Structure 1
């Protein structure tokens, strides 16, 4: 399989983040999900994690910062930081003098500039990408689909639940916190819709009793590019992934797969 640090020559580079916070009453951790606008070309109306495509300015900043990360990998992590601030108002992957008011101001500034570098300079903030843990990479190659995203998934932890979030009203219409199992239950009842990669990731996340557990598994299993494939079983066509990637469920009948 392909190296997760190699840019894809075909897929649209994208990045998304699974943001944890402490669950209530010592329960399972909660994760932040967003409902994408129905007008969006990809996964319109679906429940997903915050994120989006990697912009040229993210690649420029990734190449400029230096450090231990491959510039391409840095660009994807920068995209996560930018998209999270833009879509939710949360500040992750940054350090400096940061509070709720400055986060709101930074979001407004980002919406004006469209790039993260001017925000860092204006607020005298620095990138702190050690806050992000690589978790997965999904690239569902399909020649029949014109827009295929090569998406890298990351983990981040807020710890406390005392944080403000607000949907952007354009790309997403609703933000909500839920446990991974809670999201699966909502999908089962039809209250939310999730596509194949999101469902598989929720099933994997439901294994963990804490962010630390999730991070430990992510660090123990090297990220490899996941490209779902079809196979026949039990008289049906199934959409499958590999068996050794950390996922408890590795296949689903094709006729039940939700498409974006």
Structure 2
């Protein structure tokens, strides 16, 4: 009997980046460690993100976007989810005060976080309610489309995940939520890969590939500009079973350094 393929759930994740001057890296990205009781990639180092909520698709949100972002956009709900998830998981809010046109200040962010961060995460309020009540504009124009990965068909839970990249506002203090994520770190792409190889970090395949891709860029400006200027190739890994073991295959056109990799043990969880 043919095994039924699990349905795809839309999801979004964000690479919040900032310039740095380290021995190994010239930029770094904010990452969180997922709680060990989370049912997907538990304990792994990941970018902030999660499933797209129904509330992220609300058409009324359009009037709370920059004018340049109000045209029809199949990625709109994913961008909204990115901003919501980065607020919930990383305490970073890519939103502007509609009166001033400027990103929210650190002081405003702290007040918003204490009022909305957990209620949003618990589903007690929606992102629309927050932006309406607080006169905010979601800065979706700051998000560059970095990658698109679809969970393999053999997995019991599957996600259609769009990755975005954005410059982290320098005046906002990123920190993990203590609920879904139990730790956080600012780290450079080369640093992350080295520590993953040494066993200090657990990094699943899609995350590793996008960390590595981030390492190709010398600055925040260049990575965001490239994300906005280049076409994103969808990656749907396929399984190859050989006498040596199982391997994931990804398209060469996606531009990653590998097209074939042994199955990550975390993929079976």
For the criterion TM > 0.5, the same-fold answer is yes
SS in 2 for 1:24: coil
Q: Which moved more, 1:45-54 or 1:224-233?
A: 224-233
Pairwise CA distance, 1:155 = 0.5
Q: Which runs of 4+ in 1 moved over 4 A?
A: 61-64, 232-236
Instruction: Give the Cα–Cα distance (whole angstroms) in 2 for the partners of residues 116 and 34 of structure 1.
Output: 22
Q: Which moved more, 1:122-131 or 1:76-85?
A: 122-131
SS in 1 for 2:261: strand
Instruction: Give the Cα–Cα distance (whole angstroms) in 1 for the partners of residues 229 and 241 of structure 2.
Output: 31
Pairing partner for 1:103 from 87, 106, 109: 109
What RMSD over aligned residues (CA atoms) do the two structures have, in Å?
2.4
Q: Deviation string for 1:94-137 (max 9, x for gaps)?
A: 11162112112212332234321122122211122110011111
User: What's the counterpart of residue 88 of structure 1?
Assistant: 90
State whether structure 2 residue 197 is matched by structure 1 residue 188. Answer: yes
Q: Deviation string for 1:14-34 (max 9, x for gaps)?
A: 000001111136951010000
Structure-1-length-normalised TM-score: 0.86
Q: Which moved more, 1:30-39 or 1:59-68?
A: 59-68
Q: Deviation string for 1:163-217 (max 9, x for gaps)?
A: 4122211100011100011111111111110111001111111111112222343
Say if 2:152 and 2:238, in contact at 8 Å, map to a contact too. no
Say if 2:52 and 2:77, in contact at 8 Å, map to a contact too. yes
Aligned length: 247
SS in 2 for 1:244: helix
Say if 1:37 and 1:45, in contact at 8 Å, map to a contact too. yes
Say if 2:247 and 2:261, in contact at 8 Å, map to a contact too. yes
